[in-house]
Amino acid sequence: MTAPGDNHEEVSDYETQAREFLGMAWDFLAAGNLHQASEKGWGAASHMAKAVAVAQGWQYGNHAEFSNVMYQARQLTGNPRFRQLRGVANELHLNYYKRKRNLNAGEIREDLEEVVELLEILHPLTGLAR
C-alpha cells in the first residue's frame, strides 16, 4: 500500500474524474436524461470519496465502503453534513434502478447541488491545492 502523501497523481486523477462526472451530470439533467444525471452524480461523489481514501490511506475497494469513507471523513473533520450527503449520493445511485416515471428532475437537481457541497467539503482531505 502506498503511504498517504505519496500518491498525488492518483488522488488528482480521482478528483478530476469526480469533477468531470459532475459536469456530465448537469449536462444529462439539462437534456432530460435523469437516469444518467443521477448515475453521474453518484460517480462524482464516489470518485471524490476515492480521492480522499487514497490520500488518507483508507480502504475503498467497493461500493459498500463508500459509507465507511464518509464516516471516517466525518470523524476526522467533525462535520455532521457527511451523514446526510452520504445518503444523497446513495439515493442518486439508487435512481438508476427506478422507472423513468418515478424520477423527478427537480429532486435530482437538488441532489446534484448537494453533491457539489460534498465535493467541496471533501476537497481539503485530498491534500490537493485548489
| Counts of helices then strands in the chain (DSSP H, E) | 5, 0
Residue 5 has a pLDDT of 55
Query: How many other β-carbons are positioned within 10 Å of the β-carbon of residue 79?
Result: 13
**H/E segment holding residue 12:** helix 8-31
Per-domain residue ranges of the chain: 8-126
Domain 8-126: state its class.
mainly alpha
Residue with cell 503511504: 3
- Per-residue pLDDT of the chain (130 residues), as tens digits, is 445 557 999 999 999 999 999 999 999 999 999 999 999 999 999 999 999 999 999 999 998 899 999 999 999 999 999 999 999 999 999 999 999 999 999 999 999 999 999 999 999 999 998 7
Residue 3 has a pLDDT of 53
Residue 1 has a pLDDT of 45
Contact 103/91 with Cβ under 8 angstroms? no
What one-character-per-residue DSSP string does 18-48 give?
HHHHHHHHHHHHHHT-HHHHHHHHHHHHHHH
Residue 36 has a pLDDT of 98
